């Protein structure tokens, strides 16, 4: 999986790191995910509501899910509180965008772009505001 990331990112510092921004009601959520080569998916999520900024860090285990003879790229992510609670995602990388779609009925697609210096600066500013 990380070899696919290597194809889309120039600097080693950013390999396996992805960023997204989303609006959720009155809040803006900034999320960075990092896939490491030890099977850990680290998430750093900032929630901005007016002047309040909170930050949540989680670590989950991930691996590639084998679908036998199918060529789909499936990622298996284990819940950080209960290992046997697993979510399967079909994933793809096109250009600088990572798309992850849950499998099954009611599928949800989440997109990230690879982490940029501007994203890192944004997180540094948010870190200063965390309460």
Whichever domain contains 55, its CATH number is 2.40.128
Domain range enclosing 72: 2-129
Beta bridge partners of 10: none
Looking up tokens 């290597």 gives 6
Structure tokens at 122: 């944004």
DSSP 25: T
Of 100, 94, 33, 95, the C-alpha closest to 73 is 100
Reported as type and span, the H/E element at residue 30 is strand 27-35
> Do residues 76 and 86 make contact, with C-beta atoms less than 8 angstroms apart?
yes
> Do residues 111 and 95 make contact, with C-beta atoms less than 8 angstroms apart?
no
Q: How many domains does the chain have?
A: 1
User: Which SS3 state, helix, strand or coil, does residue 3 take?
Assistant: helix
pLDDT tens over the chain, length 131 residues: 555 544 444 445 556 789 999 999 999 999 999 988 888 899 999 999 999 999 999 999 988 877 666 667 888 899 878 888 898 998 888 888 999 999 888 889 999 998 888 999 999 999 999 97
């Amino acid at each position: 999986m990380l070899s696919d990331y290597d194809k889309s990112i120039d600097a080693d510092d950013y390999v396996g790191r992805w960023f997204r921004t989303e609006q959720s009601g009155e809040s803006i959520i900034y999320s960075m995910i990092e896939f490491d080569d030890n099977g850990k998916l680290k998430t750093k999520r900032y929630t901005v509501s007016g002047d309040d900024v909170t930050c949540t860090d989680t670590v989950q285990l991930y691996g590639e899910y084998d679908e036998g003879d199918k060529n789909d790229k499936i990622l298996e992510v284990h819940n950080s509180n209960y290992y046997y609670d697993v979510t399967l995602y079909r994933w793809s990388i096109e250009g600088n965008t990572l798309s992850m779609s849950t499998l099954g009925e009611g599928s949800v697609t989440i997109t990230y772009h690879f982490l940029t210096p501007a994203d890192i600066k944004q997180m540094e500013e948010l870190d200063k505001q965390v309460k």
